[in-house]
Structure 1
């Protein structure tokens, strides 16, 4: 009976592993489709705005992430993921700061902009009125990559946890089967196996 219970448990673990692998492959497919959609939308935006209007020269000199993915170790070796989004603020004002006359000999130091503010929306690097395809590219990259990657990491960790104990269990099962084969007469064990 113990061997049958063990086989049933191994079968259920294999079925669970195959189900998780199938879900993981589906998430990888979704991730690839969203990234492909993002690159296609970015190419459309380059075509609409011109190749020089959408490129590395428009990137900010100091980039700050809009979204961070925090991973922490949970119970039983599983990881927990938390998505933290930063607030988006309005573009920086570059006009005069005071109304009225300027003083020619003002303070020698200019105040540095505070970096503690929330990061600016990267679409504003390319202008105020950006094409819809550029917004689609941003949404595709952000949503697709974050959500699919988060789920994919979780599933990979679950599969790793299932595979590692299964390998150890398999070694223990082989020794149990050897003990069982030694205890049962040779003819009976040959028929059973």
Structure 2
């Protein structure tokens, strides 16, 4: 088999894999669209059942807001360039607690006198809270479904980004193979 035929077979394989990944990309985009649509629909159902004032911007505390899932960007050209990791329960916030002086009780013979205004700042670890609890303890199931839909849409978005990265890699490999074919073609004609 000549070198030109090998390059042609590689080009065909790259083109087939390109269209396979493109088909997966379109399916994931449809899935994302459905998840977001269902998420907003469930949010509107929750607002209807709880009341507009109880599910809205008024319940969001910006000072307590923190990302529950983070996306790590890897090396360009890797199979999965984007990966998500959840930090619920792993990341700990430090909350300062102030006490006004130390209280010593039942001490008859104290060698040193302590001042009553000494401050001590111990740290108390506080686990990250689920944002759905901002809306109360007993939230309607539609609000929980809404949260789950948006969480799954995040994973779908990462899958879409990875598929687009794969398409870019295949496209660059395909163009390299075409350049190689053009270099080989004049030699085969002569």
The answer, yes or no, to whether TM exceeds 0.5 is yes
| Residues 38 and 140 in structure 1, CA contact (< 8 A), matched pair in contact too | yes
* 1:73 alignment partner in structure 2: 75
How far does residue 22 in structure 1 lie from its aligned partner after superposition?
0.6
RMSD of equivalent CA atoms: 2.7
What is the number of equivalent residue pairs in this alignment? 162
Question: Could you list the runs of 5+ residues in structure 2 that have no partner in the other structure?
Answer: 91-115
Larger helix fraction of residues: 1
Q: How does 1:1-193 map to 2 (within 5 A)?
A: 1-62=2-63, 63-73=65-75, 77-78=78-79, 79=81, 81-87=83-89, 117-145=126-154, 147-181=155-189, 183=190
How far does residue 37 in structure 1 lie from its aligned partner after superposition?
0.6
| Residues 65 and 119 in structure 1, CA contact (< 8 A), matched pair in contact too | no
Deviates more, 1:48-57 or 1:147-156: 147-156
Question: Could you list the runs of 5+ residues in structure 1 that have no partner in the other structure?
Answer: 89-105, 184-193
Runs of 4+ in structure 1 over 4 Å off: 111-114
Q: Secondary structure at the match of 2:48?
A: helix
Larger strand fraction of residues: 2
